[in-house]
Structure 1
Amino acid sequence: MLSQHPLKKATHATVENVSALSQRLAERWPDVRVELDHRNAYELLVATILAAQNTDKNINTITPALFAKYPDVTALAKAKQGELEQLIFRSGFYRNKATNLIAMATKVVADHGGEIPNTMEGLCALPGVARKTANVVLGNTMNIAVGIVVDTHISRVAPRLGLTAQHDPVKIEHELMALVPQDQWIAWGNRMIHHGRYLCLAKQPLCDQCPLAPLCPSAFADVMPAKPTPTPRAKSVEPTPAGKAKLAKANGKAKPDVKPKLNAAKAARAARAGA
């Protein structure tokens, strides 16, 4: 059974509430970084595009071979669609992702001299890139805070914490930017993603282990009770005819052996034959 410790639940988001939440997040996840393996902005941009509808763990098994073949944006711009698709097949939606990666690299080479843009506008103009991906790259490789990463984890955790009632990622981001100090945007986003990935799970949040529970209006509310283990049914075995007879006799329902009665015609013939 989960320990139901006293909760001081926030009724609405305030800067003070977020400050307390941020302090607890920092204590629980002090040195969190993006979990996609990368060595530079190019690699993180490619990995983040691939991570859409997939997991960082799986993408990290794909990118070593990918970056060995295409070590920079110039090499990627020259990639053949089919060869690239084979390398990223396990990322899902591989055809669209391959198309976007080649188009992204081509545009970076043509418009930015092969350098990954360092602005939100420049990144979002690239194929396959929106605000989330741009924030990941800017914050984690350039230390530029122009927004807060809002991925599937933050889209789930922020409403649970009472920080937003929005569902659109851009609207969620803007509301969070008004609550979190700008100098914390990068670290705060990484910590929230980590928190959602390892504690505030989608189906079974680990509220009893969560340092934010005393401040969370949803603590324990989303915990699903464990399903009882069904008792297996015994298989019914059909008794044999002999077994049925024994059961009937044991229950006092056995029918006496009765020889079939001969009808009148057969009885007359039998009498004449015996005369």
Structure 2
Amino acid sequence: MPLKNTPESKKRQSKPKFSVTPEYVSRIYFLLRKEFGDVNSPLHYSQDYQFAISVILSAQCTDERVNQVSPVLFAEYPTLESLAEAPLKKIEKIIYSTGFYKNKAKSVSGFANILLKDYNGKLPKTIAELIKLPGIGRKTANVVLNEIHHISEGFVVDTHVKRISKKLGLTDQSDPVKVEKDLMKNIQPEYWMDLSLYFIFLGRKYCKAHKTFCETCILRKECPSSLVLKTGESK
């Protein structure tokens, strides 16, 4: 007599749940390090505050576009003081092509003024302080801490990181704050700084939002979402 399709039988027949282990995370890290090597932010800057402003401009905009626009902005206003005094209309005109230029111009101006007034022009070294600055949210604060101060107080979560983290089984959340909490729980702290950039580079090269290249991806034998079996055959 066949077994009834009860919740108990379904539970017995279900596949074991994928589990994240430190060894799994380490394999991912070293494979990505082999693929991408030493990584740094692709944004160009010469002063610490310029990097923070470039990150503000990068919201909903490509790094390539920001790298075209930011040199013009910093050439026109070469000091934090001059940027703080710059007319909003002129900032808007320069950064127009980055999108959301009115809000970004207000953020850039406000950031420059508050950084000068409250922090003597020096970028704070904690997320709690950084997010008090105009235009700086938790993600931006994490990026600044990583790049400028080499501090990993959290895990940078952008659209690429959120997508890749789900595919790798590191989270099942969609809210960036919850995704970050999962990543901080599942990933060893010494990997936080590099893995956020590695996930971004992986998302741009192999695991795009609308198309994946599992056959050539460096993680094809590790990723639980891979369309390639460990034998190399397609599922």
Q: Is this a same-fold pair by TM over 0.5? A: yes
TM superposition shift of 1:16: 2.3
CA deviations 1:109-137 (Å, max 9, x no partner) are: 11111212121111111111111111111
Matching of residue 115 in structure 1 with residue 122 in structure 2: yes
Quick one: distance in 2 between partners of 1:73 and 1:174? Answer: 34
Residue 18 of structure 2: aligned partner: 11
The Cα shift of 1:71 comes to 2.2
SS at match of 2:18: coil
TM-score normalised according to structure 1 size: 0.74
Counterpart of 2:70, as a letter, is T
Deviation of 1:106 after TM superposition, in Å, equals: 1.0
* Paired letter, 2:195: W
Q: CA deviation at 1:89?
A: 0.2
Displacement of 1:14 in angstroms is 2.5
> Which residue is equivalent to 2:161?
154
Return the letter of the residue paired with 1:181: Q
1:194 paired to 2:219: no
What amino acid is the match of 1:71? Answer: P
Q: What is the SS of the residue equivalent to 1:187? A: helix
**Counterpart-to-counterpart distance in 2, 1:149 and 1:74:** 29
The 3-state SS of whatever aligns with 1:214 is coil
Which whole-Å deviations, capped at 9, do the CAs of 1:225-273 have from their partners, x for residues lacking one?
xxxxxxxxxxxxxxxxxxxxxxxxxxxxxxxxxxxxxxxxxxxxxxxxx
The equivalent residue for 2:221 is 214
* Structure 2, gaps ≥5 residues long: 1-15, 229-235
How many residues end up aligned between the 2 structures?
Answer: 213
- Is contact 1:10–1:217 with CA below 8 Å preserved after alignment? no
Residue 52 of structure 2: aligned partner: 45
Partner of 1:55: 62
- Whose Rg is larger? 1
Q: Does 1:179 align with 2:189?
A: no
Deviation of 1:103 (Å)? 0.9
Displacement of 1:212 after TM fit?
0.7
Answer yes or no: is 1:140 the counterpart of 2:147.
Answer: yes
> Hey, what does 1:30 align to over in structure 2?
37
Does structure 2 retain, via aligned residues, the 8 Å contact 1:159–1:166? yes
Looking at structure 2, the residues matched to 115 and 29 of structure 1 have their Cα atoms a distance apart, in angstroms, of 31
CA distance in 2, matches of 1:116, 1:77: 15
Supply the distance in 2 between the matched residues of 1:41 and 1:170 (Cα, whole angstroms). 26
Deviations 1:123-159 (A, max 9, x none): 1111111111111111112111111111111011100
TM-score by length of 2: 0.86
Q: How far apart are the structure 1 equivalents of 2:216 and 2:40?
A: 21
Q: Which moved more, 1:163-172 or 1:31-40?
A: 31-40
Superposition map of 1:229-248 within 5 A: none
Cα pair 1:70 1:76 within 8 Å, conserved: yes
Measure how far apart 1:39 and its partner are: 2.0
Alpha-carbon shift at residue 104 of structure 1 (Å) = 1.1
Q: Tell me if the contact between 1:73 and 1:109 (Cα under 8 Å) persists in the aligned partners.
A: yes
Q: Relative contact order (C-alpha < 8 Å, sep 6+): which is higher?
A: 1
Identity %: 38
What is the deviation of 1:171?
Answer: 1.2
CA distance in 2, matches of 1:206, 1:10: 25
Give the AA of the match of 2:39: V
How many angstroms does 1:10 deviate by? 8.0
The whole-number CA distance in structure 2 between the counterparts of 1:66 and 1:117 is 23
Q: Deviations over 1:50-77 (max 9, x none)?
A: 0000100111110111111122322211
CA RMSD across the alignment:
1.6
* Shift, 1:200, TM fit: 1.1
What are structure 1's unaligned runs of at least 5 residues? 1-8, 222-275
